[in-house]
Structure 1
């Protein structure tokens, strides 16, 4: 069994803990981090448009890419340490939600955390990328709360009739 664990900033510890708790003995783990390429591209575009057409050596996009790579490696290392089991680490770039779905193609279980409004129960507790992955995952999904979930009294009242 292959268990894919989506390592995202702010929610990864809960995903790793859930994978460790719920995966069967002998499972193969893959720790996945996806970097969105839009941020470095936006920095490059802003720099080129404002200041840098003649100064490619000062492109802030390169620095942002380097920081993203370093951050991803740090998160994957921390996740592997927390998992305390053998795991393959995978880094991808692109549209985060689409890369997670693509990575899940050969997984038997995908573990991910809610990424929206986590102050109450309901569909808004799933941010857009998480909602996309839940809706399109080609394998079973274990969706976890990154902190203790709010009480059932946080469910909005039903609409008036």
Structure 2
């Protein structure tokens, strides 16, 4: 069984801890980090369009790509150290939500964390990328809270048209 652990800044430690707790001892664990291509792409485009045609060495997008790769490598190393067992580290670049879904093809489990409003229960506790992954992942999911779970009193009320509203 392959367990994919989606490593994201700010929530990765909760995902790694969940893998340590719930992944079978004989599971192949893949730590996955995805870097979005949008920011370096915008810098490349701005530079090419406005500033420096013909001077690729000054393109700020190259520096952003390098910094993103260094950050991803450090984050994956920290996650591997915390996991404390053999694992594969995978770095992908592209549309984050689509890269995560693609990386889970054939996996037995994906572990991810809530990344939206984590102060209350409800649909807003998932950001757009996580919502897409939850809706499209081709494998079972383990969705974890990165901090203490909010109390039941934070759950939104039923809609006004609900027959069960009290």
TM over 0.5: yes
Equivalence for 1:134:
134
Counterpart of 2:50 in structure 1 is 50
Q: In structure 2, how many angstroms separate the alpha carbons of the residues matched to 1:154 and 1:42?
A: 39
What's the counterpart of residue 100 of structure 1? Answer: 100
Counterparts of 1:150 and 1:125, CA distance in 2: 10
Q: Distance in 2 between matches of 1:158 and 1:129?
A: 25
CA drift at 1:158: 2.4
* Secondary structure of the corresponding residue to residue 90 of structure 1: strand
Aligned equivalents of 1:157 and 1:2: distance in 2? 38
Q: Distance in 1 between matches of 2:160 and 2:135?
A: 29
SS of the aligned residue for 1:146 comes to coil
Separation in 2, partners of 1:157, 1:106: 38
Please list every run of 5 or more consecutive structure 1 residues that lacks an aligned counterpart in the other structure.
Answer: none
Q: Distance in 2 between matches of 1:71 and 1:114?
A: 21
Per-residue deviation, 1:55? 2.4
CA distance in structure 2 between the partners assigned to 1:51 and 1:43 by the alignment: 11
Secondary structure of 2:24's counterpart equals coil
Q: CA deviation at 1:48?
A: 2.3
How many residue pairs are counted as aligned between the two chains? 161
| 1:26 alignment counterpart | 26
Q: Tell me how far 1:156 sits from its aligned partner.
A: 1.8
Q: What are the equivalent positions in structure 2 for 1:1-161 lying under 5 Å apart?
A: 1-161=1-161
Q: In structure 2, how many angstroms separate the alpha carbons of the residues matched to 1:139 and 1:160?
A: 34
Gaps of 5+ in 2: 162-166
CA distance in 2: counterparts of 1:107 and 1:23, whole angstroms: 12
DSSP-derived class of the 1:105 partner? coil
**2:20, 2:93 → 1: CA distance?**
26
Q: Deviations over 1:71-108 (max 9, x none)?
A: 00000000000000000111111111111111100110
**TM-score, normalised by the number of residues in structure 2:** 0.93
